[in-house]
Structure 1
Amino acid sequence: MTPSLRSRLWASGFAFVLGFAVANYGIIRISRPDLWIWVAVAIALILTSAAGILFADTRRALSIWSIIGIELFAVFTLVPLLWTFSVATAPVGETSRTVLPQSISWSAFDGALHSDILQRAAVTSVLVAGIATLVAMPLAIGAAYALVRQPVRGRRLAYGLVLAALLVPLVALAGPFADQIIAFDRFGSRLALVPPALTVTLPLAIWLCVTIFRDVPWSLREAVRADGATWVQALRRFGVPHIAPGVLVATLLVFLAGCNDFVLGAALSSDDASRPLPATLLLATGQLEGSSSAVAAAGLLWILPALLLLLVFPRRINQLLGRSYR
């Protein structure tokens, strides 16, 4: 659908007013060097307003609202990351007071990499998330195949329950899980976190696998089988090129989601020996030397795998996360 003239003009007006307000607030209330961030954001919004007016009456499928949304998303994503980097690179004994770093010291990153507490917590996160992913993916593949390919009554209801499980607040499940773990006398064990982690990994894995199987050309599999191919040949000619790449990316996404859970890790761990990294970073104040810088540095290091995955598989991730089951 081509955006209307009125929609573009409204978006242009909104971008100009917002950019004008950001510029004035920055000039009046924000000191240098952070002032330049506000000025840059204001200039981008005002230029977007001008572009919206110039292209208002064209037939191009250009949505100014979408551009504004992308710009605001970039600001609310990059500015916190920049602030975290500023805190992480503050010299020892200093506290960063600006978003833009003034002087850079890498000692916090070295301390985070060599901290016994953080190393142990990272191993716990990888172990728990890895086991939960290995359990969840085969179950999710079977469930997704049934939801997409089998004419089972109530499959939409079942899929709705899967989506509902994705939306359940984990903090509401922490108490019952803790009671069960205590009843089995496993509270404080690393492996005791695996069953609760399935509440994160399994619904997400099913949702992603349903998206994968919906886009698979199943007629090609029927053609391969009609040609008399064995199951090994069918796997090589159909499964590997059409299903395996999506399943691989889904597995990595599920693993990252399991690694980044902090609610269950904080609620179901008794000490640093069994606490995963996100929960450790949440509770690490006072336990690490230069705790603010160390926590910020560890957090930046922890998101590097997610950024790498996004850079390596951008189109595949967009296909997985940008589609829904119908």
Structure 2
Amino acid sequence: MRPTVRSRLWAAGTAFVAGFVIANVGILLITGADRWLWLATAVVLMITGAVGVLVADTGRRLSLWAVLGFELFVVATLAPLWWTFAVALTPADTTADSLLPADPRWSVFGDVLGAGVLRDAALTSVVAATVATAVAMLLAVPAAYALTRRRVRGGRVVVVSFVAVLLAPLVALAGPWSVTAADLGVLGSRWSVAPVLLLVALPLAVWLSIPVLRDAPWSLRDSIRSDGATRRQELRAFVVPVLAPDLLVVAALVWVVAAQDAVLGAALGPTDDSRTLPATLLLGSVEPSQAAAIGLLWLLPVLALVAIAPRRVRRLIGRDHR
């Protein structure tokens, strides 16, 4: 038996067994309308397994493991989002117990947009993330240019250092900075979170900007300069059309990561009107339905970024840094 056929048969068997297990769980343990969702998922996986057996010994260029992985990824992604949506639509005086709420409350999205605590928390997150991202990009782009276009001694060590700082636990920095912010009299201010967010935003901005500047067609820039172009013409002919789109996506990714911080927001926000939105949701100062609704709304910038520039995001995340 060829290795390709064996691999396809293993993938088909895994899909069928996974579907069989999900079907039995849905039949034996799940009640109500949710049972049909479990059964639909099981049917898709079992059909994948059956089709996989039929095409296992053919010459088709098909990876059943990729198909199975995609199906499981969709289930693992959509199921939590669907459950969050169900919790958001559940009335405040009841507990969500189904993926299909019997009496959905659609007004919850308007309620969270009008809630003063959540609006202030969202504004704090936006201000802090925007300031941190702007400063980080102003520092990261020249640093990435020097690391990619100049012979910097110890350049690899610098890049590894940025990664090490990026991986450092923020909880270890939250306490000291909260004491420093209190001594400076800015504890509880929207501006107190932004400087510490630079510890996340700056290394990430450098890390993502390095492949952008490394892979840019600098020969085009050199030819423009050799033709006697001015700085403004170079900006219009090279920087804006070639570098700016990818750097804007880098800034958007950095902003998204900075805006999701909850540890620093909880440590530096002693009151409800000074905490970031993730910290407000983390500390449970709002009811579950409102927390679920604002969480879904907070997800919109991420979805917009992925929808507007999916290829650029994939290229930035998939590039290496050698």
TM-score, normalisation: structure 1? 0.92
Q: What are the equivalent positions in structure 2 for 1:244-283 lying under 5 Å apart? A: 244-283=244-283
Which structure features the higher share of helix residues? 2
Q: Distance in 2 between matches of 1:259 and 1:309?
A: 14
Q: What is the Cα-based RMSD across aligned positions, in Å?
A: 1.8
Q: Distance in 2 between matches of 1:257 and 1:176?
A: 22
124 and 231 in structure 1: CA distance in 2 versus 1, 3 angstrom threshold: same
Q: What are the equivalent positions in structure 2 for 1:156-305 lying under 5 Å apart? A: 156-285=156-285, 288=286, 291-305=287-301
Measured after TM superposition, the shift of residue 185 of structure 1 is 3.3
Q: What are the equivalent positions in structure 2 for 1:108-119 lying under 5 Å apart? A: 108-119=108-119
Name the counterpart of 2:44.
Answer: 44
The worse-fitting range, judged by mean Cα deviation, of 109-118 and 46-55 is 46-55
CA contact (8 A) 1:85 1:101 kept: no
Q: Distance in 2 between matches of 1:139 and 1:58?
A: 55
Name the counterpart of 1:317.
Answer: 313
Q: Secondary structure at the match of 2:273?
A: coil
Measured after TM superposition, the shift of residue 43 of structure 1 is 1.8
Q: Distance in 2 between matches of 1:221 and 1:59?
A: 47
Q: Which runs of 5+ in 2 are unaligned?
A: none
CA contact (8 A) 1:144 1:213 kept: yes
Name the counterpart of 2:106.
Answer: 106
User: What number of residue pairs does the alignment pair up?
Assistant: 320
Q: Secondary structure at the match of 1:135?
A: helix
Q: Distance in 1 between matches of 2:140 and 2:154?
A: 17
**CA deviation profile, 1:153-196 (whole Å, cap 9, x unmatched):** 22122112222222222222222222322332322222111111
The worse-fitting range, judged by mean Cα deviation, of 162-171 and 254-263 is 162-171
The worse-fitting range, judged by mean Cα deviation, of 315-324 and 174-183 is 174-183
Q: Secondary structure at the match of 1:75?
A: helix
Q: Distance in 1 between matches of 2:168 and 2:308?
A: 31
Q: For 2:13, give the aligned amino acid.
A: G
Q: Distance in 2 between matches of 1:37 and 1:79?
A: 10
Q: Distance in 1 between matches of 2:41 and 2:222?
A: 54
Q: For 1:307, give the aligned amino acid.
A: L
CA contact (8 A) 1:128 1:193 kept: yes
Name the counterpart of 2:8.
Answer: 8
CA contact (8 A) 1:20 1:46 kept: yes
Measured after TM superposition, the shift of residue 205 of structure 1 is 1.0
Q: Distance in 1 between matches of 2:213 and 2:51?
A: 40
Q: Distance in 1 between matches of 2:55 and 2:230?
A: 57
Name the counterpart of 2:95.
Answer: 95
The worse-fitting range, judged by mean Cα deviation, of 312-321 and 125-134 is 312-321
Name the counterpart of 1:82.
Answer: 82
Q: Distance in 2 between matches of 1:234 and 1:80?
A: 48
Q: For 1:175, give the aligned amino acid.
A: G
Measured after TM superposition, the shift of residue 144 of structure 1 is 1.2
Q: Distance in 2 between matches of 1:211 and 1:37?
A: 43
CA contact (8 A) 1:113 1:119 kept: yes
Q: Distance in 2 between matches of 1:257 and 1:231?
A: 33
Q: Distance in 2 between matches of 1:62 and 1:325?
A: 31
CA contact (8 A) 1:187 1:268 kept: yes
Q: For 1:229, give the aligned amino acid.
A: A
Q: Distance in 2 between matches of 1:60 and 1:301?
A: 42
**CA deviation profile, 1:253-284 (whole Å, cap 9, x unmatched):** 21121111111111221111210111111223
Q: For 2:33, give the aligned amino acid.
A: P
Measured after TM superposition, the shift of residue 53 of structure 1 is 2.8
89 and 138 in structure 1: CA distance in 2 versus 1, 3 angstrom threshold: same
Name the counterpart of 1:141.
Answer: 141
Identity of aligned residues (%): 51
**CA deviation profile, 1:9-33 (whole Å, cap 9, x unmatched):** 2222211111111111111111121
Q: Secondary structure at the match of 1:151?
A: coil
Name the counterpart of 1:22.
Answer: 22
Measured after TM superposition, the shift of residue 60 of structure 1 is 4.9
TM-score, normalisation: structure 2? 0.93
**CA deviation profile, 1:104-163 (whole Å, cap 9, x unmatched):** 212221210110101111111111111111100011111111222212122122112222
Q: For 1:265, give the aligned amino acid.
A: G
